[in-house]
Structure 1
Amino acid sequence: MTQTTQLDVPSRGASTAHPLPEVAIPPAAPSLLGDTIGGERSAGLDSAHRALRDRLGSRGIVHVNSTDTGGGVAEMLHRVLRYSRGAGLDTRWFTIEGDPGFFALTKRLHHLLHGHDAPGPALGPAAVAAYRAAGECNARALLRSVRPGDLVTLHDPQVAGMTLPLRRAGVRVVWRCHIGTDTDNQYTARAWAFLAPFLETADAYVFSRAQYVPRLLGGRHVAVIQPSIDPLSAKNRPLDADTAAAIAGRIGLGEPPAGDRPAVYRRGDGSPAAVRRRPDALFSVAPPPDGAPLVVQISRWDPLKDMAGVMASFADGGHALGGAHLALVGPDVSRVSDDPEGGRVFANCVEYWRGLPLRIRSRIHLACLPMADAEENAVMVNALQRRAAVVAQKSLAEGFGLTVTEAMWKGRPVVASAVGGIRDQIHDGVHGLLVDDPTDGAAFAARTAGLVHDPKRAVSLGAGARERAREHFLDDRQLRQQAALYGTLAAE
């Protein structure tokens, strides 16, 4: 499946007049995690950071990706890097620049690596030339800010083209791929054939699952590091039920606060703040009433997240789901610069919603959350996940699934597709419920309805989920693994 897309090859001088945009990262002391992870884990993290500082000397650690908003990688970098800086590591983060044709190409590569085809440019000589030129231009811009010997981690297909020019300049390069599939097919083969020449010179490679590592990297330095969440971030810190209900009401996904009062919460620095913004787009006949079970899926408006499939499953299983309501929630599509499909996916969901009978449509709500204030956006997500009776993640493919981890940490029961990294997070019937076939809407509705009507089981699964998230998926584990990898590279 291809479509004609104009790919512009940047000129030799393009993107070199100024450095790449740098993302501000306020430091946070890793010791803040101590009350959550305990003394032993906290001491282990401190020891790992101390050893890495000694090995790095004056060298810095740099991360590069495609955007600082709107996706799991960006969210993870905001959180993890603040602890790195708080540990005294010279850590910086830059985002690349590219035109719409470039991001259409990299979005197609994203789908192919998941084992699915998608519209986009043909992966022929023109695409190779444009991709190489974009990588070289962005690398030259980055080299205005990094030094030989620095360790640069490039995240995902958008930036793999920077590997060779950075290595030629004496920079150590790690390529981290957050996506993949357990089973190779014609689509994954096409993506890896395209990317392989750009990845040959990297010093190390990081994947979220061992099953994602392609055969072409056999014998190379490969690490498996799963993503994680920060329990102290605005998205995951404790939020009492009244505050969560007030925030949900403020954004139209719950009963509105009395007198239209602002929903007050505390920001990361301890200062009080109020949720004042409303969704950039909200399609809802009326807010879900208090007491109605709410099923929530929160994700990007990406076809592989199957938001329309969640809606169809809910509509077809409406009788079994009784008085439950469904909220499909994603970011403002205009603010996710590296995802050209978001607007189309959201528009398709709205069209499907409009065509539903009123008795079903009145129990389904679509919302695009504002992203002008990252912390306000995060606390909105926090409130909706805590308000949920069930959190859904009906992905057709999933590299890992941070929204699943977030819901688990909040003790919410999760119904999810048994795909990709979700299978590493949830043991079926212990930490949540899995649906083997992500396209089986009837099974998804049945498993969701079972939890809606069995609160005791839902509470039990939520408790198991929270303990598993605490043991395996908090940021201290990822920070220790990253320190070990960077320490090895620095010592070579």
Structure 2
Amino acid sequence: MELDRTPLDRIEPFVGTERTETVRDTLHGVRDLLDGRTVWHISDNPLRGGVAELLRANLPYLAGEGISTRWTTLDGPPEFRAFTKSLYHRLCGVGPEEDAEDLERGRRMYERTCAENAARLAPALDRRAIVVLHDHQTAGLIPHLRAAGCTVLWRAHIGTALREELAVPGWDFLHRYLSSAHCHITSQPGVLPAGLPAVDRRVLRPSIDPLSTKNIPLHPGTGPSGLLAAAGLVEEEGGAPPGGRALAGLLVRRPARVVRDGGPAPAGAPLVTQVSRWDRVKDIPGVIRGFAEYVDPAFDAHLLLVGPETGGDPQAGRVFAECRQVRAGLGRRGRRVHLVQVPTGNPSEHALTVNAIQRHSAVVIQKSLAEGFGLTVSEAAWKGRPVVAAPVGGIREQVEHGTTGLLLSDPRDLRGLGEAVNRLLSDRGYAEELGRNGHQRVLRGFLTDSSVLGFARLLSDAAQRYR
């Protein structure tokens, strides 16, 4: 696909001249080392998920500094998508124990799909290309591209498993493909099991893009409350200026689909939110129970569980249906729980709605059972929001407990979730302090320039080591 060529000057207002020049000098050095070699990225899809967001944010800076960069995605039938989702749950350590043999039964279909994609891509590649394959969906391409003479780097965006014993069959499934890669890249140490082939390993932390629609400051003419009123999530404030209401209606034209009792949340009610896919790894039913059972009703807070539309994704639809059932089973305790599907037809509108939700929230939660890096934590912190999160994956690097946010003692700790939210709702000064500190932590280490610099250094090493 065509990539924009973005000048590094765009990031300079956020990170300063010195950091910008460091990245530029490094990229120019890499460009010279590559000597015209093209760097290809192959991922599962171009639109959904953190990997696609990361590539859209980072790759234009590489292209903008003269590094030949390409990005393409896999073609695959629905059964391939369903199989790789099952494999993902296995690698996260949350897959069911009884279906380990299903992985082997799906191997022929997985290998056929990967072989077809490798054959489709082969005419565009040459033996000098460096190919970065992202996550388990693409691992089956490694032997084909290595045989074609390419330098092949495999990047895992998943994190450590909740239950390591459940992840073993998943890693066993991937073993034969991963052994052919020149290098394995993870977002944090300790992700890959000891039994994998002894190839080079690197750690490359991802980042958020402060220039994306999801993270940019909102237009001065309208605040997050106006956008959320346009989306049908909160009541319109009585004193909102007419011009702001009109602008919000232009920016957010499609209301969200919401399962709730009654109408939108009251304009002044504190919002506690989790933004995530409708995926069992995100433990959304656990968030619902923790909020309903342990958050003090005296705060009159409302819980928003926010995810994309589920149309065309049967597994997401099943998780959403489970969330509806859990909410309904709570009776009156579930009346302040809102299940929100944000329309995805217009990506910019979707991102803007998420931006407004995070900025309007009193507390942002990320109670995942397993996580690759969990950048929704940094998104919220960048906006000055206090976060309560599970101590899994890269969340442990992003959140300094008690200073930039609050970490639970365990991913399944529902009482701890409620107590942490109560603390932040009762002490707004402390909550604001965590938000300020979190913003500074993201500024120091989790913005685009950091991951572009890290990838540039990795490319420099690859260009010299693998020829």
Residue number among 338, 342, 354 corresponding to 2:316 in the alignment:
342
Deviations 1:360-388 (A, max 9, x none): 33311111111112111111111000000
Tell me, which stretches of 5 or more residues in structure 1 are unaligned? 1-21, 266-271
Relative to 1, partners in 2 of residues 1:137 and 1:280: Cα closer, same or farther, differing over 3 Å?
A: farther
Aligned to 2:204: 225
Is 2:79 the partner of 1:105? no
Relative to 1, partners in 2 of residues 1:394 and 1:475: Cα closer, same or farther, differing over 3 Å?
A: same
Is 2:303 the partner of 1:326? yes
Aligned to 1:400: 373
Which amino acid is 2:191 matched to?
Y
Aligned to 2:37: 59
**Structure 1 residue 318: Cα displacement:** 4.3
**Structure 1 residue 321: Cα displacement:** 5.6
Aligned to 2:416: 443
**Structure 1 residue 467: Cα displacement:** 0.6
Aligned to 1:487: 460
Which shows bigger deviation, 222-231 or 53-62?
A: 53-62
Is 2:131 the partner of 1:158? no
Alignment of 1:20-419 (within 5 A): 22=1, 24-118=2-96, 122-123=101-102, 125-181=104-160, 185-217=164-196, 219-239=198-218, 242-256=222-236, 264=247, 274-319=251-296, 322-334=299-311, 340-358=314-332, 360-419=333-392
**Structure 1 residue 47: Cα displacement:** 0.7
Number of residue-to-residue matches in the alignment: 460
Once residues 480 and 335 of structure 1 are traced to their aligned partners in structure 2, the CA distance between those partners, rounded to angstroms, is 37
Query: 3-state DSSP class of the match of 1:144?
Result: helix
Aligned 8 A contact 1:286 1:362 in 2: no
**Structure 1 residue 143: Cα displacement:** 1.6
Once residues 484 and 263 of structure 1 are traced to their aligned partners in structure 2, the CA distance between those partners, rounded to angstroms, is 47
Once residues 172 and 62 of structure 2 are traced to their aligned partners in structure 1, the CA distance between those partners, rounded to angstroms, is 35
Aligned 8 A contact 1:65 1:156 in 2: yes
Aligned 8 A contact 2:181 2:199 in 1: no
**Structure 1 residue 115: Cα displacement:** 1.7
Query: 3-state DSSP class of the match of 1:326?
Result: strand
Once residues 188 and 416 of structure 1 are traced to their aligned partners in structure 2, the CA distance between those partners, rounded to angstroms, is 22
Once residues 259 and 331 of structure 2 are traced to their aligned partners in structure 1, the CA distance between those partners, rounded to angstroms, is 18
Which amino acid is 1:27 matched to?
R
Aligned 8 A contact 2:366 2:390 in 1: yes
Aligned 8 A contact 1:243 1:263 in 2: no
Relative to 1, partners in 2 of residues 1:455 and 1:261: Cα closer, same or farther, differing over 3 Å?
A: closer
Query: 3-state DSSP class of the match of 2:101?
Result: coil
Deviations 1:103-132 (A, max 9, x none): 222112211211222486834543222221
Relative to 1, partners in 2 of residues 1:285 and 1:318: Cα closer, same or farther, differing over 3 Å?
A: farther
Which amino acid is 1:333 matched to?
T
What TM-score, normalized to structure 1? 0.88
Is 2:406 the partner of 1:430? no
Tell me, which stretches of 5 or more residues in structure 2 are unaligned? none
Relative to 1, partners in 2 of residues 1:139 and 1:289: Cα closer, same or farther, differing over 3 Å?
A: same
Root mean square deviation of aligned Cα? 2.2
**Structure 1 residue 26: Cα displacement:** 2.5
Once residues 206 and 85 of structure 2 are traced to their aligned partners in structure 1, the CA distance between those partners, rounded to angstroms, is 21
Relative to 1, partners in 2 of residues 1:124 and 1:291: Cα closer, same or farther, differing over 3 Å?
A: closer
- 1 or 2, which has the higher helix percentage? 2
Once residues 434 and 176 of structure 2 are traced to their aligned partners in structure 1, the CA distance between those partners, rounded to angstroms, is 45
Query: 3-state DSSP class of the match of 1:122?
Result: helix
Relative to 1, partners in 2 of residues 1:121 and 1:250: Cα closer, same or farther, differing over 3 Å?
A: farther
Relative to 1, partners in 2 of residues 1:255 and 1:92: Cα closer, same or farther, differing over 3 Å?
A: same
Which amino acid is 1:250 matched to?
A
**Structure 1 residue 98: Cα displacement:** 1.6
Once residues 307 and 277 of structure 1 are traced to their aligned partners in structure 2, the CA distance between those partners, rounded to angstroms, is 24
Which amino acid is 1:319 matched to?
D
Which amino acid is 1:84 matched to?
L
Relative to 1, partners in 2 of residues 1:45 and 1:441: Cα closer, same or farther, differing over 3 Å?
A: same
**Fraction of identical pairs, as percent:** 38
Which amino acid is 2:115 matched to?
E
What TM-score, normalized to structure 2? 0.93
Once residues 279 and 198 of structure 1 are traced to their aligned partners in structure 2, the CA distance between those partners, rounded to angstroms, is 42
Once residues 318 and 454 of structure 2 are traced to their aligned partners in structure 1, the CA distance between those partners, rounded to angstroms, is 38
Relative to 1, partners in 2 of residues 1:88 and 1:335: Cα closer, same or farther, differing over 3 Å?
A: farther
